[in-house]
Amino acid sequence: MPPICRFAPFLLPLAFAVTAHAQPRSLTDAQRDAFVGSVQDKYQVAPETVLALLAKAKYQQSIIDAITRPAEAKPWSAYRPIFMNTARIDGGRAFLAQHRDALKKVEAETGVPAELIVAIIGVETSYGKITGKYKVLDALYTLGFFYPKREAFFRGELEQVFKLAEEESLDLAALQGSYAGAMGWGQFMPSSYRAYAVDGDGDGKRDLFGSLPDIFASIANYFVAHGWEPGEPVALPAMRSGAGAEFVPDGMEAKYSLPDLAEKGYRPREAVGHAANATVLNLDGADGREHWITFKNFYVISRYNRSPLYSLAVYQLSQAIADREDTAVTP
């Protein structure tokens, strides 16, 4: 915040009104030097490269505004229709039909269902139509230095994007993505791009912007790396009995046996067929309370986005795309 002129006290009300909406938008020399040194030490990116690109980064208030009102803050009754609608389902079915061979190849190699890969692309970017309007450099710069709530995470992503640009020959100054700095059809953050992106078409590059084989293989690889179990359940509608308080788990890890959950009043509406650890999800649906039993694969989906609403929307959309309407309906 710039100093207020001490010999013009009549300007104080105006100054406070302005600065209340105008947080600092540039780095101090100490911040800049520390960041450049960190990128050099961790990723061996030349300081002159980092400095030249940092000079192009701009604070964007619209990015702060966007991250403070995410869709995941909505109740399930309002969140679900964003993705479970005719346009999104029909679009997914058409996309799956168009790219079936490539998707089924990835499914055969990884065990990750083709419809799940399509659902991720559908939820993230409407099947590649909306990949983001923000400059990635601006997004990560803004959140990494001017969003205290998660600045450590985003500053780390800003560091990694410099190395990513070097590794993948990306024009970082022109790169566009989401308000959070996620990129490509699958909306990978820089650290995830570096860790999980794969070369699906064998051209020696990992292109999550224009190569569908790379995009499909990379999304599947993300799930495999986080423990996807082929053929195992994701989520099932549950019946709840008993008049006591709902069971509220302390996370999304599938760490309870089905008999344990039955003792807590939760039973799947259809038989699982074998022993499996699970947990419970209670939601406010359009027609009242909904209860779900979720398994390890649900937790794996949640590594893509930590919101249980996101994971359930992706799963339900995948089932609708695969034309398994019975498992896509709201319980």
Q: Which residues are catalytic?
A: 124
Largest CA distance in the chain: 79
Judged by phi (left if over 0) then psi (alpha if -120 to 50, else beta), residue 226 lies in: alpha
- Taken as a whole, the chain contains a residue count of 331
Residue 66 — φ and ψ, nearest 5°? Answer: -65, -40
Q: Are 208 and 185 in contact (CB under 8 A)?
A: yes
Helices (DSSP H) in 68-203: which residue ranges?
A: 76-83, 86-98, 100-110, 114-125, 136-146, 151-168, 190-196
> How many whole angstroms separate alpha carbon 322 and alpha carbon 282?
25
Distances (CA, A) of 192 to 73, 188, 189: 24, 6, 5
Q: How far apart are CA 143 and CA 62, in angstroms?
A: 11
The SS3 call for residue 85 is coil
Q: Which two tokens stand for residue 56?
A: 């192009």
